[in-house]
Amino acid sequence: MKLSEKDRNRQMNKEALWSIGLYVVFFLWWYFTGYGIGEATSPADYTYVMGLPLWFFLSCVMGWVLTSVGVIILVKVIFKDFDLDSDDKSDVN
């Protein structure tokens, strides 16, 4: 796909902002499930999922799965495949 330089820069900024946003959501998920659930109960009262404490399973295992799904959706919906080469031939030295 050929885009003008302005459109390429706009698309790159959009992709970068969405990527940062997804990382912030992942970090908040990790932090609040890890520290929120983990700090709320004593180790004797933990609920276990597949041999792991619930807080660890949600923050690390499910966090990774949800972030992977988010990245796939982000790439399919937001990201565009376009040439980074300039349309201007006058740029060549």
Rounded to a whole number of angstroms, the CA Rg of the chain reads 21
Give kind and range of the element (H or E) at residue 26. Answer: helix 5-31
The domain locations on the chain are: 5-79
pLDDT in 10s for each residue of the chain, 93 residues:
788 888 888 989 999 999 999 999 999 999 999 888 878 778 888 889 999 999 999 999 999 999 999 999 999 999 988 887 766 655 554
Q: What angle do CA 37, 26, 35 make, to 5 degrees?
A: 20
